[in-house]
Each structure stands twice: as structure tokens, then as C-alpha cells.
Amino acid sequence: MSLKTGRTAGFVLTIAALFTELALVSVGGSLALPVQNTPPRAEQILDQYVEAIGGLAALEKINNRVIKGTMEIAGAGVKISITAFQARPNKACTVIDSPATGRIETGTNGEVAWQVSALAGAQLMEGKEKASFLHMNIFDRAVYWRRSFQKVEAAGEEEVSGRPCYKVVVTPKDLPPQTVFFDKETHLVVRIAMTIENQAGTIPSDSYLSDYKRVDGVLLPHKTVTRLMGQERITIMESIEQNAQLPPERFDPPTEIRALIKK
């Protein structure tokens, strides 16, 4: 019997992706959309979204986040605790621990990306896997979307959970495009469809963001439901602390990774 056979690589990256979706949520720019009859341009939709979640001034006061939560594989009875640390400009470290996975730490100091786990030991990411991971962990990458994405394009309208939304396709440099859905009324991101690339292959991922709550003046989603590999993964952010007192070495590569870097 093989349970979730061979999912480690995609699985871990996906968890990281779930949390970096928060970075997409907390975006920047504060241009209010003028009243108009023609469909807004992608740039306008993104800027309006920034305004909706609190505005650039509030967002730029945030230097780091500590997110604690759980991820449950719906129906399978598997629940995993997750702690994610994120900091400007592009640092991140996600720790998951469960009987199903053991302890897995995935992180980047902005230059190297790594994973340390009982399953696979110490690993440095390379190639597209690394590029994807580094991109996903740009702090508030959507705040600075003009830098984070090579191209943004409006792609019409589509309903998400019965609500009308704008579709915007954002394309990072050298990575596959992502489709982001913005609620037409609240201007919040409610869905992100993307592909995750790693050595195992390309994994389509479809995430639905909800339960927005204001934290330090910024609206952040506290629930994400991700459809991936035929499963539904429910991530609940139980607490989000911003501008936490983090030790300077928080994002340093672990000892095992430093040994690999020296090789």
C-alpha cells in the first residue's frame, strides 16, 4: 500500500507555496480605480487590491511574519502543524512536523534554498526548483509586483465560489504564469491557479483563499484550500504575528546545509 506515494518533493514545496501566497496577498501600490465602464487593466486590478488590503503605507511597516497553523488533507485524516517565518526582502523558513512526514525544514536566505528532513536528509535546491522557491518567497512579492512579475495581463472575468472575479495572469521571469482571481466587489484575492515545478515534475495547484482578517492594519487570508494531485488540502493560519523579534540567524542555513555549500 502506498500512501501519497512519492509526494515529498511536491508536497513540501506546496506547503511553502501556501504560505507564500500570503506574500501575494499583501501587495503594494495604492492607486484607487476610477469609476469606469471598460474592464480595468491588470495593473489597475493589482493596485486596487493593494488598497483593499490596507494600502502601501500599512504594508511597508511590516518587516516579517511568523505564521502558525495546520494543514489537513481533507478526508484522509492527516493533519500537519506548520510554522512559517518570512522576512524582507526574500527570506523564509517553513517547518512542518507530523507523524506522516517527520520534521521537515525548508528555507532560503535569499541566495540558497534548502530542505532538511529525516526523509531526504540535507538538500540544496537547484535549477527551476530553486528559482520557483526563491520567487515564491519574495516577501510581499505582490506589493512590488512590477518587480516580481515580468508581465501582468487581464484575462477577463470568471466566477469563483459564485462571486464575479477579475482574472489576472501574472508571469514571473523564467517561471510559469500564475492566474490570480480578484473578487470584483471586495478586490481581494480569492483564488490562485499555478503550477509548481520541481525535480519530480510539474504539479498544477489551485488554491482558494478566504477568511480574511485584519492584522496590524493589513487584511490577510487565514484559510487556504488547495486542490493538488487529486486531493484537497486545507490550511488554517491560526496565528500571524508581524514584526516579530526574530534572531538574526533565523534564516541562516542549518549546519548540514552549510556543509553542502562548502563542498
Partner 1 sequence: MRGKGQRWTRFLCVILLLGSLPRANLLRAQEAASQTPREHQLDLDSFEYVWKTVHEKHFDPTWGGVDWKAVHAEFRPKMEAVKTRREARAVVRTMLSRLKLTHFSLIPSELYGDLSRPESGAGEPGVTGIHLRVIDGRALVVSVDPGSPAAQAGVRPGWEILQIGGKEIASQLAAIAREFEGKSLKDLVLTDAVAGRLEGKQGDCLAVSFLDGADRNISHSLALVEPRGAKFQLGNLPPVRVWFSEKTVGPGIGYFAFDVFLAPGILMTAFNNAMRSFMNAPGLILDLRGNGGGQGEIGCGMAGWLVLEKGRDLGTIRTRDNALKLIVRPRPQVYPGPVAVLVDGLSLCATEIFAGGLRDLGRARVFGTRTGGAALGGNIERLPNGDGFMYAFANHVTAGGRVLEGNGLVPDVIVQHTREALLQGRDLILEAAIDWIRDFK
Positions touching partner 1 (CB under 8 A) are 1-11, 73, 75-78, 99-103, 117-123, 198-204, 229-231, 256, 259-260, 263
Give the C-alpha separation, 168 to 41, whole Å.
9
CB of 257 to partner 1, least distance (A): 10
Q: Name the residue nearer to partner 1 (CB basis): 31 or 259.
A: 259
Question: Taking a C-beta distance cutoff of 8 angstroms, is the pair 27, 59 a contact?
Answer: yes
Q: Name the residue nearer to partner 1 (CB basis): 227 or 250.
A: 227
Quick one: DSSP state of residue 38? S
CB of 130 to partner 1, least distance (A): 13
**Pairing mode, if any, of strands 163-171 and 64-73?**
unpaired
CB of 18 to partner 1, least distance (A): 18
Q: Name the residue nearer to partner 1 (CB basis): 100 or 154.
A: 100
Give the C-alpha separation, 20 to 197, whole Å.
15
Cis before residue 89, ω within 30 degrees of 0? yes
CB of 26 to partner 1, least distance (A): 30
Q: Name the residue nearer to partner 1 (CB basis): 185 or 256.
A: 256
SS3 assignment, position 184: coil
Q: Name the residue nearer to partner 1 (CB basis): 33 or 78.
A: 78
Total residue count of the chain as it appears in this document:
263
CB of 255 to partner 1, least distance (A): 12
Maximum CA extent, the chain? 60
Give the C-alpha separation, 209 to 226, whole Å.
9
